Amino acid sequence: MQHTPSGWAPLQPILHDILLTNSDGLSEYELFQRLKSPPFELFTTEALQDPLSLFQSHFILFNALYQLRDTWLQNKTGLLQIHCSCIRRTPWEAGQDGVVTQDKLRAYYLDWTSLSDTDQTQVEALLDSFWLAFSGMPNQVEDNNMPLQSALDLLKLTTPFSSQQLKQQYRRMLHIHHPDKGGNNGHTQQLHKAYGRLKTACL
């Protein structure tokens, strides 16, 4: 499909049906798995791998979700909670629509120029910013004297490795050891330091 509002118009009613029949909600990943499978086949596996195409797919999905949330509020169908880890419908309550219209994320995802104006370099910067926040590390430059072998051990890497392999392993380890999954901030911060140490080794 074309990356235009009209090209992705069929997505909103499909999401409506999926979310109404899954009262416990679905993660973004689970939604993509359904949308790329029959009978929908709206996304391809390739579109969910490359950073730029993944960002574009994510944006298109969230654009449709925020449109659907507005529709549900207008029709008093319910409130659509939108988060990468859980997207689900909750009962409608009076007075919710005024709060939702002030949502900055809603404004971002409903503006199609946010999609067209974002290139590969900007996507990589957004991802780096996201993973930095995910690690719990402050966004500041500091001396990194971590021994190379310690960094390799923390990220469970062996040489040689590419910068892409390093990024993928770093993000994988953050997912595994994030505090929400039973890890602790100290370890995720060490993972970030290890990533920074090995990143310089790739240059």
What's the pTM?
A: 0.63
Give residue 40's pLDDT: 92
Contacts of 60 (CB under 8 A, 6+ apart): 3, 8, 11, 115
Give domain limits for the chain.
11-116, 120-202
Contact 154, 166 (CB under 8 A): no
Tens-digit pLDDT profile for residues 160-199: 888 888 888 888 888 787 665 667 777 888 888 888 888 8
CA–CA dist 132, 189 (Å, integer): 9
Tens-digit pLDDT profile for residues 146-170: 888 998 999 999 888 888 888 888 8
CA–CA dist 144, 99 (Å, integer): 43
Give the CATH superfamily of 120-202.
DnaJ domain (1.10.287.110)
Task: Please state at what angle helix 28-35 crosses helix 51-75, rounded to 10 degrees.
Answer: 100
Structure tokens belonging to residue 168: 């993928």
Lowest mean pLDDT across 53-57, 96-100, 129-133, 162-166: 96-100
